[in-house]
A = this chain, B = another copy of it.
Amino acid sequence: MSSLIEIHRAAVRLFARQGYAGTGIRDLGKEVGINSATLYHYAGGKEEILVAVMARCLEGLLAGGRRALGHSADPAVQLVRLVRLHVAMEAVNPLTAYVTDREVRALSAANRAAVLALRDDYESMFQQVLERGKRTGRFQIDDLPTTRMALLEMCNGVSNWYRPGGRLSVPEIQDRFADLATRLVGCPPVPPAECGTDLAVAVLDSEPLDHRADEEALA
């Protein structure tokens, strides 16, 4: 019954609740229901678990990002699709996204560099879309780096307050954020019809299935 996936799920749940440094491997074992020594039979170690979770999350965003960009050449459509993808990832996998965001500093130098390389690749998609939108006059952007950071932080923040089964459905959250994003870049709303329907986001292996016990994390 216990497997690597179960371990990753338990790790994400505990890392999100107590932080990576604040979680012991004995806590991890207890959460999975096995001895801490058995963890090393499946996973190479504590940091290896964290790296695997982060890499899978970021690779999911990267793969989705490439799908998002290829659908249309219009920067507005591309931006909305990027935002809808990102928001969906954060809303469907809030704990995984939360840990991926906030525990980078816990990694050793080599692993941190690898994770940051993935993240930089992903964020450069936003950079390029914003640049082209500004250059072509599709967007009215004052300072591009500030707008890019504000946009990304706004989307990243979803994992801080949203949980599956919340007041809004995932498509509703996507609609709200698509509107907010077009407002930020000074661009008229993009009809949902132009956005395609290939932006569904799957539940990651590392995402705990039951988020009920994490409501206090929404502090």
> A104 to chain B: which residues have CB within 8 Å?
219
Interface residue range, chain A: 35 or more
For chain A, residues 130 to 168, give those with C-beta under 8 angstroms from any C-beta of chain B: 142-143, 145-147, 149-154, 156-158, 160-161, 167-168
Contact status A219-B112, CB under 8 Å: yes
> A-side binding surface: helix, strand, loop or mixed?
helix
For chain A, residues 167 to 219, give those with C-beta under 8 angstroms from any C-beta of chain B: 167-168, 172-173, 176-177, 179-180, 183-184, 186, 217, 219
Tell me the bound Cα distance from A180 to B153 in angstroms.
Answer: 13
The residue of chain B having its C-beta at the shortest distance from the C-beta of A109 within the complex is B216
Out of B19, B112, B167, name the residue touching A106 (CB < 8 Å).
B19
Out of B19, B21, B106, B153, name the residue touching A156 (CB < 8 Å).
B153
Given A105-B17, A142-B176, A176-B143: A160 touches B150 (CB 8 Å cut-off): no
Check if A18 is an interface residue, CB within 8 A of chain B: yes
A55 CB to closest chain B CB (Å) equals 15
Check if A116 is an interface residue, CB within 8 A of chain B: yes
Check if A70 is an interface residue, CB within 8 A of chain B: no
Check if A102 is an interface residue, CB within 8 A of chain B: yes
Given A154-B150, A157-B149, A183-B183: A19 touches B18 (CB 8 Å cut-off): no
Check if A44 is an interface residue, CB within 8 A of chain B: no
Contact status A177-B150, CB under 8 Å: yes
Contact status A146-B19, CB under 8 Å: no
Contact status A180-B173, CB under 8 Å: no
Contact status B157-A173, CB under 8 Å: no
Tell me the bound Cα distance from A173 to B147 in angstroms.
Answer: 11
